[in-house]
Structures are given as C-alpha cells and as structure tokens.
C-alpha cells in the first residue's frame, strides 16, 4: 500500500512538473517567435530581469504599492528600461484604453503587473503610424494601454512584465521585463508580442478582466 501511495505521489509530481515544462516551453516559444517577427520588422527587442518591486537594496519595502497614487519613487530606485517594464509603481492603474495625451508612467507599471501590454509612442511619430496604432488597438483592445510619451521622439515602444509561476518560492525572482522599440507599426509582429506576453504578469489577472474603460 505504501509503495502504491508513493508511486501515486511520484506520478502526480511528474504530471505537475510536465505541466509547468509544457506551459513554460510554450510561452518561451511564443516569446521567441514574437521577438523574431519584431526584429524582422526593424525593431529592437530586449528581455531584462524585472526591476525591484518588493525589496530595494536588500531591504523589504514598507508598502505594497506607492500610496495615494504617488509618483515619487524611493531614493535609490531607478527603472531599468525607458519606458519602464517592471518595478515599483503606484497603487492605481491607468484606465485601459487608447489616449492622445500622456498618462502616468508610474501607474502604467501597475497595469503591466496585472498582465497588461503598454504601448507608448513619441511626439514625433508619424501621424499615419499613430493611426495604425489606433486600428491595432480597436482590433483587440483587451488589456492594452496606448498613449504618447514625451522623450521618445519617433519611437514606438511595446512593454510587458511576465512572471514564471514555477519560481514563486524564489525570493530573489520578480519576473522579466520585455521591451520592443520600433519606428513603424507591423500589425503581425505587434500582435505576436501581445499574444506572447499578455496575461502573464506577476499578478495574473484574466485577460477578460482587463477591460477597456476599466482600472
């Protein structure tokens, strides 16, 4: 009887391990394919370890999020990409949607934590490319925030924050940031980025909950 139980436990463990391997492998393949499509479209693509969120300089932060929609970052903290893909953020998210005015960057990091995709474009991005972004948004708006951002010039940047659920017990792990920088909109490549990364944030909200007009 003990041998049967032990065998059952090993079988369950193998199934669970196989599930995570299958999921992680599928997500990895999708991310690789998206990166290849973006590079073929002339974009630069980078994956970087997530910036600190719960701990800073080895010490636990005294808060879960910056309180009262604050945009004042703790002394010594700096985002590791521009625009940011991960890290410390406001307690409020940006309402999902497409904007013609800049939105709060520190708050968009909270959207990323929920599994959103954030797209920012510079004030010098051509009007026809901005219109393509609008069409792209309308085709599949769930979990998207698209807005201009001063300082990006002609660049269009796509951001995501992903998290491997199989590493939840690793106290040093806070996920990965993904950023692609482009000068034009390639619908197929942009869609591949969204499909590879949307809904895979540290706080894994169902994509169906990331509704346009909602927080």
With respect to residue 111, please indicate whether it lies within any of the assigned structural domains. yes
- How much is the pTM? 0.85
With respect to residue 122, please indicate whether it lies within any of the assigned structural domains. yes
With respect to residue 215, please indicate whether it lies within any of the assigned structural domains. no
- List, for residues 72-124, the tens digit of each pLDDT value: 888 888 999 999 999 999 999 999 999 999 999 999 999 999 999 999 999 99
Per the rule left: phi > 0, alpha: psi between -120 and 50, beta: everything else, 165 is alpha
With respect to residue 23, please indicate whether it lies within any of the assigned structural domains. yes
What local confidence, expressed as pLDDT, does residue 24 receive? 57
Tell whether the model's pLDDT for residue 17 goes beyond 60: no
Confidence band, pLDDT 50/70/90 cuts, at residue 197: very high
Tell whether the model's pLDDT for residue 203 goes beyond 90: yes
What local confidence, expressed as pLDDT, does residue 25 receive? 56
With respect to residue 75, please indicate whether it lies within any of the assigned structural domains. yes
What local confidence, expressed as pLDDT, does residue 71 receive? 84
- List, for residues 31-64, the tens digit of each pLDDT value: 999 999 999 999 999 999 999 887 677 677 766 7
Residue 169's CB: how many other CB atoms inside 10 A? Answer: 6
Do 66 and 109 meet the contact criterion of CB atoms below 8 Å apart?
no
With respect to residue 130, please indicate whether it lies within any of the assigned structural domains. yes
- List, for residues 168-193, the tens digit of each pLDDT value: 999 889 999 999 999 999 999 999 99
With respect to residue 214, please indicate whether it lies within any of the assigned structural domains. no
* β pairing state of 144-148 and 97-98: parallel
Domain of 7 in residue numbering reads as 2-209
Tell whether the model's pLDDT for residue 151 goes beyond 80: yes
Domain count of the fold of the chain: 1
Do 161 and 205 meet the contact criterion of CB atoms below 8 Å apart?
no
With respect to residue 51, please indicate whether it lies within any of the assigned structural domains. yes
């Amino acid at each position: 009887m003990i041998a049967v139980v032990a065998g059952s436990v090993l079988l369950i463990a193998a199934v669970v391990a196989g599930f995570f391997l299958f999921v992680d492998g599928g997500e990895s393949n999708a991310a690789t394919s998206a990166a290849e499509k973006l590079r073929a479209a002339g974009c630069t693509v980078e994956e970087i370890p997530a910036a600190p969120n719960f701990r800073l300089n080895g010490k636990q932060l005294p808060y879960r999020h910056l309180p009262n929609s604050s945009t004042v970052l703790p002394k010594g903290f700096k985002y590791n990409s521009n625009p940011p893909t991960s890290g410390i953020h406001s307690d409020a998210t940006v309402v999902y949607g497409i904007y013609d005015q800049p939105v709060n960057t520190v708050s968009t990091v909270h959207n990323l934590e929920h599994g959103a995709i954030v797209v920012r474009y510079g004030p010098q991005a051509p009007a026809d490319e901005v219109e393509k972004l609008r069409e792209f948004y309308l085709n599949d708006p769930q979990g998207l925030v698209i807005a201009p951002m001063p300082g990006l010039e002609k660049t269009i940047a796509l951001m995501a924050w992903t998290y491997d659920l199989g590493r939840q017990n690793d106290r040093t792990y806070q996920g990965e940031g993904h950023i692609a920088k482009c000068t034009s909109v390639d619908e197929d490549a942009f869609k591949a980025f969204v499909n590879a990364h949307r809904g895979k944030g540290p706080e894994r909200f169902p994509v169906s909950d990331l509704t346009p007009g909602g927080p």
